[in-house]
């Protein structure tokens, strides 16, 4: 069984306050994009084995894929196993959710292959145990996330636009970004809510969306600002950092303009990728490349 684990971007992120459980209360629009890791699942009698083509990444219990498979196996409650091959294309430490997406696809794929019979609601509960973004990747498309980011509400109006991703050569730790965040007292913003409820003629609201975590990455903020400005000068209608960074997103009206912008950035020595957002329908249609080979206990 072969599957794609797509990346995400954040179309705006607001941090409201620190909760009693130590996490932060968030409002964000999560959006899948056409950049993906590939996972191949082969059934075996028992045990979870993971092979990763990036030697810098863990392949044991530290990897969310292994954690997801182990959690699902426990929930199923009978001997199951799989060998998993992971081909990485989504760079870690850029706020693109690659590890979370890999984990979510692992839950979906192995529930099929092992004939686990878990409902989407069951899988969402398991996903929430693995990390904040993991539940979103069970849905994909355009969704409002609240709480710690794990309460996900797919939106009726899905974003389908060209984008350019700038992928800096530095990474940013999510924990460090939140650790540096200084919350200021402010009135609740309605920008995300109005964008979420708009009929996506709401493109004209894109420039209003901001990411509160940009102010928390003071060491890298000058280069993030430069990348945003470059994208706007090259024709983007809006630009902001994705999640806790370091990827910077430019949103375009025209795919050809986006591709030209990416080429121009590459000529300057800036790593850039022209791609586009994925609606929930497209995301779910493309997620499986090869139908599951059913687990037979052998």
Could you give the residue numbers annotated as active site? 8, 133
What strands, in cross-sheet order, belong to the sheet with 272-276?
Answer: 238-241, 248-251, 162-166, 272-276
Bridge partners of 29, per DSSP, are 144
Phi, psi of 85 (to 5 degrees): -110, 130
Burial of 177 (0-12, 13-18, 19+ CB in 10 A): buried
Q: Residue 288 forms beta bridges with which residues?
A: 3
- Asked if residue 7 has a cis previous peptide bond (ω within 30° of 0), the answer is no
Transcribe 39-65 into DSSP letters: EEEEEESSEEEEEES-TTS--STTSHH
**SS3 for 254?**
coil
């Amino acid at each position: 069984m072969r599957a794609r684990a797509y990346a995400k971007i954040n179309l705006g992120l607001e941090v409201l306050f620190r909760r009693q459980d130590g996490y932060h209360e968030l409002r964000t629009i999560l959006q899948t994009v056409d950049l993906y890791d590939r996972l191949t699942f082969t059934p075996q009698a028992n045990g979870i084995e993971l092979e990763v083509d990036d030697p810098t990444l863990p392949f044991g219990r530290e990897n969310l894929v292994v954690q997801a498979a182990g959690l699902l196996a426990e929930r199923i409650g009978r001997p199951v196993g799989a060998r998993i091959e992971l081909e990485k294309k989504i760079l870690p430490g850029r706020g693109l959710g690659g590890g979370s997406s890999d984990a979510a696809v692992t839950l979906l794929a192995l529930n099929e292959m092992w004939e686990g019979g878990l409902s989407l609601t069951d899988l969402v509960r398991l996903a929430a145990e693995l990390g904040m973004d993991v539940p979103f990747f069970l849905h994909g498309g355009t969704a409002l996330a609240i709480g710690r980011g794990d309460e996900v509400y797919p939106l009726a109006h899905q974003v389908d636009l060209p984008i350019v991703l700038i992928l800096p050569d530095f990474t940013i730790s999510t924990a460090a970004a939140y650790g540096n965040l200084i919350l200021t007292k402010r009135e609740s913003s309605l920008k995300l809510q109005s964008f979420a409820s708009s009929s996506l003629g709401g493109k004209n609201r894109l420039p209003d969306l901001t990411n509160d975590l940009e102010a928390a990455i003071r060491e890298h903020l000058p280069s993030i600002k430069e990348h945003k400005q470059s994208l706007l000068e090259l024709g983007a209608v809006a630009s902001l950092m994705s999640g806790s960074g370091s990827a910077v997103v430019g949103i375009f009206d025209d795919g050809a303009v986006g591709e030209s912008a990416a080429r121009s950035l590459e000529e300057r020595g800036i790593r850039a990728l022209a791609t586009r957002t994925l609606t929930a329908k497209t995301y779910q249609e493309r997620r499986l490349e090869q139908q599951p080979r059913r687990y037979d206990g052998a």
